[in-house]
Chain A
């Protein structure tokens, strides 16, 4: 039995179905990210876990206790908002103490807990400041301390870093992860930023149009995307259309050039068109050795990205992006020249729902 169980959750707003068939089991202490574009239902799902929205059907249980019918103030859940939502009339210390005061804890205990929390977020000297006297990053750390002060069963973060600038965003996400590890608190983190999700999660739930497309570790999500949507949303990716020649032998052709696919073709009819994903970093320039796939084309774009040079090789209808490390001693390949690219037979990933979006 997992610590947080979400079963067959469904939510509609009027005629709009925003979440459907959502199933997820989260272990105690896990850090889960909900990743997806805006409008994919990730925030609505989080708000149903928090108790701010009631699901139309389905069940949510925390620690073996069904909380589906409970109000937000009965669930003991810590929530961090994108807009910080600190109480402007209270000092930092009063903000952190609020939940404990509501729970009528003794004053001495509250004082000790506030000190402990402010030490945890490394802002002990800010106790008497008001929220408007703090920077955005500091405000969000106080909001984190406030959410954690009540010892919540689950910590929910709704795009907590979206309002901050790039540098703070990276340092704060590391800090959030460190605090989460230290306390071992079960956490759900909503974001639309794939890099953020990849860098801090134990597991990622990729959502698209109200449904879960894939659940997996960052490694799995990135390296073995199951659907075309996951493949294109997480990282840069080549999506090529191929024609199946012989599924049993793994033979396909891309723009008339034959290559081999080492897995996932079973059950596909010969002559069917199928979408394949290919990571740019799996492709290298040149003929390659035995057993590698080889495609010929012409270079039609070269982008210098600093440490990496991204080259686009046009086949016919398909084009393949590939990344090479920048080498100051070599001149970058020339535009318009004919080249061969090679990649492993296991690098071509068969995408589910090949013709979909």
Chain B
């Protein structure tokens, strides 16, 4: 017993060192812009750069849209497959895995070919429609993570019986989906949202080849042209991602409390 605990602490320590060392080194390096002293000058440069604010905002908005529309697509699909079409499950699982099998570069070349300005559906001819195309491509990229997270959530509740219970009480399917199924998938949706955010915020290939001002291409640009700022950016990105995770979890927890307070 005592020995097992000692071993698990050792493993924890090794892992912590393994993950923390590169982060700490990056952080230390990002502070050395001014010769002979530690300063946050590199961070100042990053925050002062208007392109940082613009691209980060752009990617955040786009990832929020991806999360909302992706969830609206995936939850009803996974629900329906589980409830009525269990035999289609392997097919749907295979489809959702495709984005992992097909490299993003191939996907985006396909997009450019199908949706270019001289095609039937010229989505790349205006920037707003290119944004929509990029959003759709992000939904595709996030599909494997989203579907798996939500499907796991659906499996952890008894979807069929809960649906039947609600049905016998007179509920129709929209109120079952939004009133009974969705609230019980909160944790699954939060983790799917987080995975989607992490995928979208740093995505490079799609945004770069569709020529949109996203955060991924900006990271690449800075990384290629500066020395200390990329490290500062890396640290900032980490902090933002962790912050988002914390905030989403707090929100998720808070919602249950407010539900119980407003009974009936």
Contacts and interface: CB of A to CB of B under 8 A. Distances in A.
A91 interface: yes
Nearest to A72: B167
A89 B162 contact: no
A127 to B, nearest CB: 8
B259 A89 contact: yes
Given A79-B164, A79-B165, A89-B256, A128 B263 contact: yes
B177 to A, nearest CB: 13
B162 A85 contact: yes
Interface in A70-98: 71-79, 81, 83, 85-91, 93-94, 97-98
A146 interface: yes
Given A83-B158, A93-B263, A107-B264, A98 B167 contact: no
Q: Name the interface size band of chain B.
A: 20 to 34
Nearest to B162: A85
Nearest to A107: B264
Contacts of A330: none
B172 interface: yes
Contacts of A81: 161, 164-165
A148 to B, nearest CB: 11
Contact of B167 (A71, A111, A128, A150): A71
Contacts of A114: 264
A51 B180 CA distance: 20
A79 B256 contact: no
A62 to B, nearest CB: 13
A110 interface: yes
A81 B165 CA distance: 8
B184 A89 contact: yes
B4 interface: no
Contact of B170 (A87, A107, A150): A150
Given A85-B158, A85-B162, A72 B259 contact: no
Contacts of A130: 260
Contact of A102 (B171, B183, B186, B256): B171
Contacts of B183: 89
Contacts of A90: 259
B158 A102 contact: no
A146 B172 CA distance: 17
Q: Name the interface size band of chain A.
A: 35 or more
B169 A146 contact: yes
A85 B260 CA distance: 19
Contacts of B256: 89
A325 B263 CA distance: 57
A94 B263 contact: yes
A52 interface: yes
A50 interface: yes
B164 A72 contact: yes
A110 B263 CA distance: 11
Interface string B167-192: 11111100100011001101000000
A99 B162 CA distance: 13
Chain A CB count within 10 A is highest, among B158, B164, B186, for B164
Contact of A103 (B166, B170, B259, B263): B170
A118 interface: no
15 contacts: A52-B167, A73-B167, A85-B162, A85-B165, A86-B165, A88-B157, A89-B180, A89-B183, A94-B264, A101-B264, A102-B170, A102-B171, A107-B264, A128-B263, A143-B165
Interface of B: 157-158, 161-162, 164-172, 175, 179-180, 183-184, 186, 256, 259-260, 263-264
Q: Top 8 closest A-B pairs, CB basis?
A: A99-B169, A79-B168, A89-B183, A85-B165, A85-B161, A72-B167, A102-B170, A73-B167
Interface of A: 50-52, 71-79, 81, 83, 85-91, 93-94, 97-99, 101-103, 107, 110-111, 114, 127-128, 130, 143, 146-147, 150
